[in-house]
Amino acid sequence: MSLLEIRNLSVEFQTVSGSFRAVDGVDLDIKETDLLSIVGESGSGKSVSMLALMGLLPWTANVTADKMEFAGLDLRTISNRARRKIIGKDISMIFQEPMSSLNPCFTVGFQIGESLKQHLGLGGAARKKRSIELLDLVGIPAPAERLKAFPHQLSGGMSQRVMIAMAIACNPKLLIADEPSTALDVTIQAQIIDLLVDLQNEKGMALVLITHDMGVVAETAKQVIVMYAGQQVEQQEVDSLFAKPRHPYTHALLNALPERSLHLDRLPTIEGVVPGAGDRPPGCLFAPRCEFVQDDCSQNIPGLQATELGAFRCFHPIDYTGQG
């Protein structure tokens, strides 16, 4: 049974110029120890779909889904009070900007202890003991002293470690990491990703890693979802995705990796920009930028087609049968 099952999740924002669909028909299945990576450009709906799951979107967002179940609970109809019992405990999330995600007015110890008190009802001494364990677990030296530190006394990497400690405080079943390494130095990025993967193995939790770094995907994930303009365009296992991407967008993204274009003078790019709220093409959303585009692409909207290894949303997927 899946830990998290989502069918046809859509999120629309009401704006002055009409409604804008940020997430469009996303399907998701996550089992208990899965490591799923969601990749896509900025504004492709990666974060918004996960924030919808957490119930953290502003009230201007309209979330609809045919199914959105976590551990048997229907997240579409759940009350706010009941949701608060789950988020931060069974599902937790860490964010892109560790420096601004911690409250500058409170100590690290207070902020970690708060989750422990809220969900586990631990008393003062137990909270302190557990907080020290957690900081130790995420690799922060001298954890007992660090509890008294304020966020401005920590580096970006340290702050993200504290965020991770807070997120895993109540042993969540699902951890969502929303671009956890994007705002950090390159050397620290790898450490944070390694830490998340180690913790996932150790704790046996499911991990959703949102990123736009293909390198991170290649090294860590098992399953990959590629998103474009709010839609899921491809889903595959990581090895086959990198070897044989079916969707032209995935293909173009992988071609743009610097390590794949060492023999070229210029890095390949994808011409054009992601369609905005006002200029969504009528058919396939990627059609205006696609190098394999055909006439029917801009007339009909392609559905998500399941394959042996995953799924893709394209009328003319890249065919590898001829190559063997």
Partner 1 sequence: MFAFILNRIALLVPIFFGVTLVSFGFIRMLPGDPVVALAGERDMTPERHAEMMAKLGLDKPAWQQYLDYVWNLLHGDFGTSVLTNRPILDEFMELFPATIELGVTAMMLAVVIGVPIGIFAAVKRGTFYDQGIMGLSLVGYSMPIFWWGLLLIILFSGIWGLTPISGRISFLYDVPTVTGFLLIDTLLSGEEGAFASAMHHMILPTIVLGTIPLAIIARQTRSAMLEVLSEDYVRTARAKGLSPLRVYGLHALRNAMITVITVIGLQVGTLMAGAILTETIFSWPGIGKWIIFSVFSRDYYAVQGGLVLIAMIIMAVNLIVDVLYGLINPRILHTSS
CB 273 within 8 A of CB 280: no
- C-beta of 183 vs 225, nearer to partner 1: 183
Piece in contact with partner 1 (CB under 8 A), picked from 67-75, 91-99, 253-261, 275-283:
91-99
For residue 119, state whether it binds partner 1 (rule: CB under 8 A). yes
Shortest Cβ distance from residue 194 to partner 1 (Å)? 23
8 Å CB contact between 170 and 89: yes
Q: How far apart are CA 250 and CA 170, in angstroms?
A: 36
Phi, psi of 296 (to 5 degrees): -70, -15
Whether 77 contacts 83, CB under 8 Å: no
Instruction: Please answer whether residues 194 and 220 qualify as being in contact, where contact means their C-beta atoms are separated by less than 8 angstroms.
Output: no
Q: Which residue has the tokens 């990198």?
A: 242
Rounded Cα gap, residues 241 and 259, in angstroms: 16
* Of the candidate residues 14, 15, 103, 201, the single one contacting partner 1 (CB under 8 A): 103
DSSP for 263-316, written as a single string = TSSS-----S----SS---SS-TTGGG-TT--GGGGTSPPPPEE-SS-EE--SS
153 binds partner 1 (CB under 8 A): yes
Q: Can you tell me the distance from the alpha carbon of 252 to that of 292, in angstroms, rounded to the nearest whole number?
A: 11
Region of 36-44, 114-122, 242-250, 259-267 interacting with partner 1 (CB under 8 A):
114-122
| Binding region for partner 1 (CB under 8 A) out of 134-142, 145-153, 290-298, 300-308 | 145-153
Answer yes or no whether residue 15 interacts with partner 1 by CB under 8 A: no
Q: Which member of 20, 29, 41, 54 binds partner 1 (CB under 8 A)?
A: 54
**Position 229 contacts partner 1 (CB under 8 A):** no
Window of 22-30, 32-40, 148-156, 276-284 that interacts with partner 1 by CB under 8 A: 148-156
Burial of 278 (0-12, 13-18, 19+ CB in 10 A): exposed
Q: Under rule CB under 8 A, which residues in 161-190 are in contact with partner 1?
A: 163, 166
Complex with partner 1: residue 106 or 320, whichever CB lies closer:
106
Distances (CA, A) of 208 to 150, 199, 300: 29, 13, 31
State the Cα–Cα distance between residues 31 and 105, nearest whole angstrom.
Answer: 38
Q: Which of 146, 89, 94, 93 is nearest to 122 (CA)?
A: 89
Q: How far is the CB of 91 from partner 1 (least distance, A)?
A: 9
- Rounded least distance, CB 23 to partner 1, Å: 18
Distance CA 12, CA 51 (A): 13
In the list 93, 154, 252, 304, the residue contacting partner 1 (rule: CB under 8 A) is 93
The answer to the question of residue 244 lying near partner 1 (CB under 8 A) is no
19 binds partner 1 (CB under 8 A): no
Instruction: Report in angstroms how near the CB of residue 153 gets to partner 1 at its nearest.
Output: 8
Rama region for 176: left / alpha / beta (φ>0; ψ in -120 to 50; rest): beta
The answer to whether residue 102 forms part of the interface with partner 1 (CB under 8 A) is: yes
* Cβ at position 312, least distance to partner 1 in Å: 32
Among 7, 83, 128, 203, binds partner 1 (CB under 8 A): 83
Least CB distance to partner 1 at residue 173 (A): 14
CB 238 within 8 A of CB 216: no
* Residues engaged in binding partner 1 (CB under 8 A): 54, 56, 83-89, 92-93, 95, 97, 100-106, 114-115, 118-119, 150, 152-153, 163, 166
